[in-house]
Structure 1
Amino acid sequence: MEPNIKVQSEDLRYIVQVVTSKIKVYDIIVDPVSVKFYFFDSDNEGIDASFDYIRRELVDKGFIPFLSRDGENFIQVTRRPKQRYFGNIVNVVLLVATILSTMYVGSQYSINFVPRGSFYELRLWAYGFLFFSAPLLLILGIHESAHFLVAKRHHVKASLPFFIPFPVGIGTFGAFISLRDPLPNRKAMTEIGAAGPIAGFLTALPLLFVADYFQGVIKPIPPYYIPFKVTFPLIYQLLGLHTNFTGPIFPMVFAVWVGMFATAMNLIPAGQLDGSHILRGVLGNRANVLSYVFLAFLFGIGFFYTGWWIIAIFVVFTGLVHPPALNDFSKISKLDIVLGIVSLAMFILTFTIVPIKPA
């Protein structure tokens, strides 16, 4: 029997029209903050595809639908809070600032490799750009661009990458995109989360060999300035790259190493990191327990490298448990399971407990 629908506003009329055009419902309950549409599975084949259509229609109009299948089945629609976003000019300004900050930092790491003479400072900055800033920002940029493109494929609005300049250390706090729509389902959650680390890893792979080549042909100039030493992850040994340095590390080697370290850090399955997106997408709400396990792991290895405590605190403040997708009951494909396995393999290949230490 069709429900008796009394429409009280144009917004409500539109919501009812969109939902009931795809879902056979047996009851509709309206309260001051939401509309609930109750349905039976037996009346609705292909509920995942129907819900995705509803989601795409309503999100663009300022509403958020959420599918629940715990006990009673219903779709709950709420009004989306109004949000204001930065214009793209902010992305451009931050990118330019990050290029300059990473060039400066890279120039300091190039002191061991640039002979003094005419245009010494200019040559230092050129080395800083070519052998540090460019490869590092290429890896980070492709990582974030992959998130952006896959989000777009799933009809999830996202910002362009935001680069964060910081003129010490590695010259940047990294980059991120802002997802401006909620994640629709576990498939999208997995694929958007995995896209960045996989793209960044694949970008870094050939650069590993290029950097290793330059380390061998561009000889350092004594006296050496060696502020720190890095620990190379398993991927370096498997590829037969140089890892035992008696002298200073070449800036490009360090830049690509940072790219690999960023891959490992992002793949940690806790909080709002990429690894948490992937884990939640593949395992659903069963991922929550593992997130707590990895958080404890971060606090534990913080006794060997205190930087992990900073990451752990960041995870705590951004949310211990990954929020569910709008349709958290959708099934994932074999491809998504493969993406999860590939992501785990990349984490193992790029992770080190003590990534960096004083010289």
Structure 2
Amino acid sequence: MLSAEAEVESLRDSVAKHFEVYGVLVTPLALTFQIRAPAAGIDGPFDALRQELVPKDYIPTITQERGEILVHVQRRPKARFAGVQVNLILLIVTVLTILFFGGAWNWADYSGKPILSAESIGYGAAFFSVPLLAILGCHEMGHYLVAKRYHVRASLPFFLPSIPPLGTLGAFISMRDPIPNRRALLDIGVSGPLVGFAIAIPVTLAGLALSTASAPVAATGVGEAIQPSILFSLLSLFFPLPSSYALHPLAFAGWVGLFVTAINLLPAGQLDGGHVARALLGRRQFYISWAAVLILFGLSAFYPGWFIFGFLILMLGVRHPPPLNDISRLDPSRMLVGIVAVVILLVTFVPQPFVAVGNERALRFEDLSGSVLSEYPNVTIALNSSRLLVFAVNNTGPARENVVVSVRPNNLDRFGFVIRFTAYEIGGTNVSVNRDTIEFRLNASHGAILDLEVTAPLTWGKPLPETVTFQVHAATPDGVATPADLDVPVQVTS
């Protein structure tokens, strides 16, 4: 254990290796060295001093006060960092929650399959869980690797499990060393969003391409829908999407990735955007941080979640701590990177990410283009022949429903007509049947395509042609949802 005098001399020798020292001030909080800046600048010498002192549990900072450049050295208690066990446990739990509460949940909602079916788990993992984990994991590893490049110790990512529809609250890393300078602050802060953004774009494009094959969803359907950002809307222009469509889980994963990028780039507190703003603006970032929090409170009128997020930022701290070297400014290339980060924030942020589009339980018949269908048009059938009718039934309610669709023959069966469903298709899966009543499960705002075969009798005891009518009825077993009826006028010919 060094004496106080020996410790001061040891620290003076360390500082003198990198700067010319002309004075030493001893205070209760720190040891302050008055130095002269080298002609080549202070960045390199100070970073070398930091890398020498931090492993010895000293923290140096450099400031400019009243025309003097001062190096302050403080003792730091030796930190005890936990191993990677917590990271591993959280990762395993998050993989399970994002697999079942994220991937399987979203695929079941998309396809109509049971949530615990092999298809929902497998396709949900491939098209939602893995892409979203890749976006979040690469985002955090971007921070981690750039921090290592600057010799700043950081933890491995901590993943956070959650409930549906995402199965995760994201991930974060813990910075275990102070940030050395504004350049490092910008690079570490912006690296995560840029990497996540770069992965989210192709994921979104692939998801939108798959969404073009989805069955149309009526624009007047009810439930809760995501709102696109400026960038998401621009990417949608590359694909021939209908005015209303079922968003593929891969596209939803891309949307989440872009939205997470926007949240992280908010210039508040110690978010990634707070790092960027502090590097660009210095102490003035404090005012931008407060403005961002107040804007979030204002936006809570449209989406209540913004109030919670703004409150968390307020509790964790609006002011961003300065880097150890807050004197050196950014070079033009890094200023440009900071501006790019601001642009990404503007094109990915969604003021109202989710919007409610109704809450009434109801069913509706539609044609294959998604238009409401109350009467099937132009059905003509000759005696002893068959006609296949194809139409859809849509669950326009906010939740999954068991749907029963039945034929009401209006006594046509007594005259020899045979009216049977031969197949139905949900989410690309076709099921063959041969009966006049079918039952299946439909997710919110999703539909089933029905094949109904009408076979006329061999003979008819009245003059022809003659028009007869039967109905198709759709309802839920509990009778609560508004049912739907489809009239089918049939002209019988000889």
Task: Give the TM-score normalised by structure 1.
Answer: 0.90
SS of 1:77's equivalent in the other structure is strand
SS of 2:65's equivalent in the other structure is coil
Distance 1:244 1:164, change over 3 A: farther
Distance in 1, matches of 2:293 and 2:351, equals 14
Contact 1:114 1:221 in 2 (8 A): no
Contact 2:204 2:253 in 1 (8 A): no
Distance in 2, matches of 1:241 and 1:314, equals 38
Is 1:110 matched with 2:110? no
Aligned-residue offset at 1:48: 2.1
Aligned-residue offset at 1:114: 3.9
Aligned-residue offset at 1:10: 5.2
Aligned-residue offset at 1:244: 6.3
Which of 1 and 2 has higher RCO (CA within 8 Å, sep 6+)?
1
SS of 2:80's equivalent in the other structure is coil
Contact 2:62 2:326 in 1 (8 A): yes
Moved more, 267-276 or 65-74: 65-74
Query: Residue type matched to 2:325 in 1?
Result: N
Distance 1:111 1:70, change over 3 A: same
Q: Percent identity?
A: 38
Distance in 2, matches of 1:252 and 1:52, equals 44
Q: Give the one of 336, 354, 357 matched to 2:355.
A: 357
Aligned-residue offset at 1:148: 0.7
SS of 1:83's equivalent in the other structure is coil
Aligned-residue offset at 1:217: 2.8
Contact 2:104 2:116 in 1 (8 A): no
SS of 2:170's equivalent in the other structure is strand
Aligned-residue offset at 1:220: 8.4
Contact 2:208 2:247 in 1 (8 A): no
Matches of residues 167-206 of structure 1 in structure 2 within 5 Å? 167-206=163-202
Distance in 1, matches of 2:26 and 2:42, equals 22
Aligned-residue offset at 1:248: 3.7
* Count of residue pairs brought into register by the alignment: 350
Matches of residues 6-155 of structure 1 in structure 2 within 5 Å? 8=4, 11-41=7-37, 45-71=40-66, 72-105=68-101, 106-114=103-111, 116=113, 121-155=117-151
Contact 2:205 2:251 in 1 (8 A): no
Alignment correspondent of 1:3 = none
Matches of residues 320-359 of structure 1 in structure 2 within 5 Å? 320-359=318-357
Distance in 2, matches of 1:215 and 1:261, equals 19
Q: Give the one of 290, 302, 305 matched to 2:303.
A: 305
Aligned-residue offset at 1:130: 0.9
Higher helix share: 1
Distance in 1, matches of 2:290 and 2:109, equals 43
Distance in 2, matches of 1:102 and 1:62, equals 40
Query: Residue type matched to 2:163 in 1?
Result: P
Aligned-residue offset at 1:317: 1.1
Task: Give the TM-score normalised by structure 2.
Answer: 0.67
Gaps of 5+ in 1: 1-5
Aligned-residue offset at 1:219: 4.6
Aligned-residue offset at 1:79: 0.8
Distance 1:299 1:221, change over 3 A: closer
C-alpha offsets along residues 205-242 of structure 1, whole Å, 9 cap, x if unaligned? 111111112222355899xx975200010112222156
Query: Residue type matched to 2:253 in 1?
Result: A
Distance 1:92 1:226, change over 3 A: farther
Alignment correspondent of 2:251 = 253
Aligned-residue offset at 1:263: 0.4
Aligned-residue offset at 1:83: 2.5
C-alpha offsets along residues 242-287 of structure 1, whole Å, 9 cap, x if unaligned? 6766354222111111111000000100111111100110111122
C-alpha offsets along residues 183-218 of structure 1, whole Å, 9 cap, x if unaligned? 110111111111111111011111111111222235
Higher strand share: 2
Instruction: Tell which structure's C-alpha radius of gyration is larger.
Output: 2
C-alpha offsets along residues 115-170 of structure 1, whole Å, 9 cap, x if unaligned? 659x9612211122111111111111111111111111111111111110113331
Contact 1:208 1:253 in 2 (8 A): yes
Gaps of 5+ in 2: 358-494
SS of 1:73's equivalent in the other structure is strand
Distance in 1, matches of 2:116 and 2:61, equals 60
Distance 1:220 1:110, change over 3 A: farther
Moved more, 285-294 or 53-62: 285-294
C-alpha offsets along residues 283-326 of structure 1, whole Å, 9 cap, x if unaligned? 11122222222221111111111111111111111111111010
Distance in 2, matches of 1:249 and 1:183, equals 41
Contact 1:158 1:181 in 2 (8 A): yes
Alignment correspondent of 1:275 = 273
Contact 2:189 2:275 in 1 (8 A): yes
Query: Residue type matched to 1:164 in 2?
Result: L
